């Protein structure tokens, strides 16, 4: 698997777009790096940049960005709401694919060493890159901020990990590390009071607050240690601040493990705590990027609270999440620019699926041999499952069936999974055909080239046989859904379940034709016979399943 790491440097400039552009330009100039997001904040005077690539390229881009930021940003003149200590304040590396946290930490250490020695900037390591756990927490490292670091850096316990032990008045110091993916998330309040916002932040953040008596003195235990009242949310860091740009106070949060505390749980808990203090949450703001599942889970969470089906499209789930969390209160929220998976996807992977219906039909009708019967079979299967899913959603919301909404919601969710798989197979079947054509186009001038070409043709042919077989398997699994909806779903939509069965049967039989014609080109006749036999069994069952669904439909229609 290709190794991918993400880098999310925070630069202490959020107002001068010319400076920000120069920094991001030097990131994009590094080959093998993809710039995903640039998120400037005027009130914080801080820009969060996100880019991704293979480790060596990402480390080079990060180094160049830190160098450029040091040349362009004068920390002695910097003012902003966010805690900061350097022109490049913090630069975390995050493992994305094919690489461990330990290896990512080594890349962070390598970057830190280079920044310290070549640029002469004091560097502190944090999180997984820091061996000394007494100074691995970012907030502890940054305590005192820029203004306090002229003295702090002279303390023996705060000697930098790399670079000089002198604080650079212009560039400050930089914190470099390796950590898991976190979501930077701000929740808006209907107040201008930083004190009240901080009170809520202390209510919810994991670190909580120190206990105080009526006179405001810190209460200590028998050992003389301050007694801490923990907050209600695990894996959450939070502070309150006032954002002049928006004219409201916010709870600024880092959700360090969204599997422990997801975005929607953090939002609802802050709503509850705010209401208890006479305040109201008006919306929220995402800083940087977010994983797709975080929004999908939020959409499902809020639909369940409404007792509505969660088996709706990905786009609808994101819409519900955005509206429920108020992510569009302070400005438009564009999922295609904020969801990390959307930014990493290759548009060519869904060329057919992203076409309009008429364009897809025109492409099919053209003289090009692809998309052909395999892709059309996959699309018919997707439509068949979609009809069954529609009946489930209609049934979930049917008046008088309120006590059954969860039953139908579960069916609809399964339908969405099958539909999405079949839509992907629309393009995959065409790619499989194109691989055969590419293999036939390989050179054959020498014996070695002929051998390699023959092997490539056979490998591509095998794959082109396996893909329609997969279409058969996925489409055939949709019969359980449409039969269940024909028998128990909204009776006004029983005909839709019947049409779904017809489409699924056609998908299975059409894909089987592709299995047979492609298997005929395999030199391994044993493998070919096994593929054909598997497909034949699926087809026979699909025909029987279709008949069973139609019998139910026709009986109900009369």
CB 371 within 8 A of CB 283: no
Q: How far apart are CA 70 and CA 163, in angstroms?
A: 14
CB 408 within 8 A of CB 396: yes
Handedness of CA 225, 229, 233, 239 (dihedral sign): negative
- What value, to the nearest 5°, has the Cα angle with vertex 167 and ends 165 and 169? 160
Q: How far apart are CA 358 and CA 39, in angstroms?
A: 38
Paired tokens of 167: 């604080």
- Name residues whose C-beta falls within 8 Å of residue 480's C-beta, 6 or more positions apart in sequence: none
Q: How far apart are CA 168 and CA 160, in angstroms?
A: 12
- Strand ranges for 326-428 from DSSP E: none
Closest by CA to 260, choosing from 215, 212, 306, 297, is 297
Q: How far apart are CA 108 and CA 258, in angstroms?
A: 23
Span between the terminal Cα atoms of the chain, in Å? 56
Alpha carbon distances (Å) from 421 to 69, 163, 390, 417, 504: 44, 51, 17, 6, 14
Residue 226, Ramachandran bin (φ over 0: left; ψ between -120 and 50: alpha; else beta): beta
Question: Residue 411 — φ and ψ, nearest 5°?
Answer: -65, -45
User: 250 has which bridge partners?
Assistant: 188, 241
> Catalytic site residue 349?
no
Reply yes or no: is the peptide bond before residue 371 cis, omega within 30 of 0.
Answer: yes
Of these residues, 161, 429, 496, 545, which one is catalytic? 429
Instruction: Please compute, for residue 263, the number of CA atoms within 13 A of its CA located in the half-sphere on the CB side.
Output: 31
Closest by CA to 284, choosing from 235, 321, 311, is 321
Q: How far apart are CA 172 and CA 274, in angstroms?
A: 37
For residue 349, how many other CB atoms are within 10 A of its CB? Answer: 13
Of these residues, 82, 89, 168, 496, which one is catalytic? 82
Instruction: Tell me the angle at which helices 494-519 and 373-396 cross, rounded to the nearest 10 degrees.
Output: 160
Q: Where are the alpha helices (DSSP H) in 75-183?
A: 101-114, 138-142, 145-152
CB 112 within 8 A of CB 161: yes
Helical (H) or strand (E) element with 183 = strand 183-189
Paired sense of beta strands 183-189 and 88-97, if any: unpaired
> Catalytic site residue 161?
no
DSSP 251: E
Helical (H) or strand (E) element with 416 = helix 405-440
3-state helix, strand, coil in the chain (%, to 5): 55, 15, 30
For residue 378, how many other CB atoms are within 10 A of its CB? Answer: 34
> Which residues are marked as active site?
82, 429
């Amino acid at each position: 698997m290709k190794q991918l790491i993400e880098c999310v440097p925070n630069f202490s400039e959020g107002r001068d777009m010319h400076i920000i552009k120069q920094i991001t330009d030097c990131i994009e100039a590094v080959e093998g790096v993809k710039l995903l997001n640039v998120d400037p904040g005027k009130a914080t005077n801080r820009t969060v940049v996100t880019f991704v690539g293979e480790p060596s390229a990402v480390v080079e881009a990060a180094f160049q960005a830190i160098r450029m930021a040091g040349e362009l940003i004068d920390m002695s003149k910097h003012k902003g709401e966010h805690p900061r200590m350097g022109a490049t304040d913090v630069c975390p590396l995050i493992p994305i694919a094919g690489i461990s946290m330990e290896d990512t930490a080594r890349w962070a250490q390598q970057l830190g060493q280079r920044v310290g020695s070549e640029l002469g900037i004091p560097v502190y390591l944090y999180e997984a890159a820091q061996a000394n756990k007494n100074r691995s927490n970012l907030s502890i490292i940054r305590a005192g901020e820029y203004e306090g670091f002229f003295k702090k850096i002279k303390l023996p316990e705060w000697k930098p990990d790399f670079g000089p032990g002198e604080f650079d008045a212009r560039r400050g110091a930089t914190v470099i590390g390796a950590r898991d993916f976190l979501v930077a998330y701000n929740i808006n309040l209907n107040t201008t009071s930083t004190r009240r916002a901080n009170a809520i932040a202390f209510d919810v953040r994991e670190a909580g607050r120190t206990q105080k008596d009526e006179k405001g003195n810190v209460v200590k235990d028998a050992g003389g240690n301050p007694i801490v009242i923990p907050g209600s949310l695990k894996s959450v860091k939070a502070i309150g601040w006032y954002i002049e740009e928006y004219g409201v106070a916010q709870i600024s949060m880092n959700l360090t493990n969204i599997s422990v505390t997801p975005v929607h749980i953090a939002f609802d808990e802050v709503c509850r705590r705010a209401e208890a203090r006479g305040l109201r949450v008006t919306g929220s703001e995402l800083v940087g990027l977010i994983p797709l599942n975080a929004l999908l889970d939020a959409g499902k969470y809020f639909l369940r609270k409404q007792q509505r089906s969660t088996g709706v499209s990905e786009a609808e789930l994101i819409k519900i999440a955005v509206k429920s969390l108020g992510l569009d209160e302070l400005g438009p929220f564009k999922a295609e620019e904020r969801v990390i998976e959307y930014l990493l996807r290759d548009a060519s992977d869904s060329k057919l699926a992203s076409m309009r219906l008429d364009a897809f039909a025109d492409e099919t009708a053209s003289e090009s041999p692809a998309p052909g019967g395999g892709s059309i079979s996959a699309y018919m299967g997707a439509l068949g499952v979609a009809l069954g899913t529609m009946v489930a959603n209609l049934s979930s919301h049917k008046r008088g069936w309120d006590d059954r909404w969860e039953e139908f919601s579960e069916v609809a969710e399964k339908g969405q999974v099958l539909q999405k798989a079949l839509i992907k197979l629309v393009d995959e079947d065409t790619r499989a055909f194109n691989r055969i054509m590419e293999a036939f186009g390989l050179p054959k001038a020498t014996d070695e080239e002929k051998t390699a070409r023959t092997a490539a043709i056979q490998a591509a042919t095998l794959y082109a046989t396996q893909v329609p077989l997969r279409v058969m398997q996925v489409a055939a699994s949709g019969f359980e859904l449409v039969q269940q909806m024909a028998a128990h779903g909204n009776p006004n939509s029983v005909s839709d379940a019947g049409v779904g069965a017809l489409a699924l049967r056609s998908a299975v039989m059409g894909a089987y034709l592709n299995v047979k014609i492609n298997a005929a080109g395999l030199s391994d006749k044993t493998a070919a016979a096994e593929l054909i036999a598997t497909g034949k069994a699926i087809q026979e069952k699909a025909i029987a399943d279709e008949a069973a669904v139609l019998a139910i439909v026709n009986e109900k229609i009369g």
